[in-house]
Amino acid sequence: MKNQLKFLIRIIIPCLIILTLLSSCDLDYLFGDGLGEKKYDGKLAVHFLDVGQGDSIFIELPNDETMLIDAGENYHGEGIINYIKKAGHSKIDYLVATHPHSDHIGSMPYIVRNFDIGSVYMPKVSANTDIYESLLKAVKNKKLKVNSGKAGVNIVKTDELSADIIAPVKIDESNLNNCSIVIKLSFGKKSFLLTGDAESSEMNTITAELKADVLKAGHHGSKNSTNKKLLEKIAPEITVISCGKDNDYGHPHKEVLTQLKKINSSVYRTDKDKTVIVVTDGNGLTVSTDNESIKKAK
């Protein structure tokens, strides 16, 4: 009897006290929900993620929704998800695959399988690559619908905020770069032009207004995408180039950097600056870098 009493005093009663305390507390406060703190509430924050020789753009919209455009090669999925969680988000409301090349959609199947996804946008193209088929399968298994990414489609629209697909106007399956979804993102007085790998031949088909304060240079800064005539139309105050350090393609090309210098556009490069974050309250722009790359999965 004494032994039983000692057991109650030493083990059972303390456990009951702890359980009582836990039941009256916010468990998220005690243990956390795995999310970081949101830094840009009410603002538009565009994160050009350093995924090496590839593209991935994470966007925090001022209405508290999120968008992910592309996801780099197939070893960045875990790192991208961790980055989004660290930014305080548990869902991607709008997932955009600009075109079926692996340096843009490689990690998307993983992200679709392992994260909460809202709407999916992809250009209507035929591609028989394993990674493209894997993405379609992941979307289907999650019972998500693929929305056709083409000119004239609006993704988001509020009084001050809009995200519009302005290309592709037509599909060129002979060159999948020229099937790229191009998005014009606007908040207040500021706008972003996000071009995927669209080359000049696709950009020339766009009838929508191209002028933008921030440009994501097409095709990693290739001279086939960003030329003098196009830059004169866009007139970007800031240009971000997503490319890998010492890549085999010589991106960004010297001709592009020369033209950007001539128009006095401030240039940021993920191969040098790592992840680049451009934030606006609808009036001004601020740029910061976190000096980190999205880590490859082990």
pLDDT tens column, 168-199: 999 888 899 999 999 999 999 999 999 999 99
Confidence (pLDDT) at 294: 81
Give the amino acid at 51. Answer: V
Q: Which helix (DSSP H) or strand (DSSP E) does residue 243 occupy?
A: none
Q: Which residue has the tokens 């969680």?
A: 85
pLDDT tens, 100-137? 999 999 999 999 999 999 999 999 998 888 999 999 99
Measured distance CA(74)–CA(201) in Å, rounded:
28
**Looking at residues 132-153, what average pLDDT do you find?**
97
Q: How far apart are CA 176 and CA 166, in angstroms?
A: 16
Class of domain 41-289: alpha beta
Nearest-angstrom CA–CA distance, 134 and 180:
19
In contact, 191 and 166? CB cutoff 8 Å = no
- Does residue 79 have a pLDDT over 80? yes
- pLDDT band at 33; cut points 50, 70, 90: low
Q: How many CA atoms lie within 13 A of 52 on its CB side?
A: 16
pLDDT at 50: 97
Residue 294 DSSP label: P
Neighbours of 188 (CB within 10 A): 16
Judge whether 161 and 67 are in contact, CB under 8 Å. no
Q: What are phi and psi of 194, to 5 degrees?
A: -115, 115
Q: How far is residue 62's CA from residue 42's CA, in Å, rounded to a whole number?
A: 4
216 SS3 class: strand
Q: Which of 110, 104, 68 is nearest to 89 (CA)?
A: 68
Predicted model pTM:
0.88
Query: Which band of pLDDT confidence, cut at 50, 70 and 90, is reported for residue 297?
Result: very low
208 or 32: whose pLDDT is higher? 208
Residue 29 has pLDDT above 90, yes or no: no
Higher-pLDDT residue of 10 and 111 is 111
The yes-or-no verdict on residue 86 having pLDDT over 60 is yes
Judge whether residue 54 has pLDDT over 70.
yes
Arithmetic mean of pLDDT over the chain = 89
Cβ–Cβ under 8 Å, residues 53 and 243: yes
> Which residue spans within 168-216 are E strands per DSSP?
182-187, 190-194, 214-216
Predicted confidence at residue 25, as pLDDT, reads 37
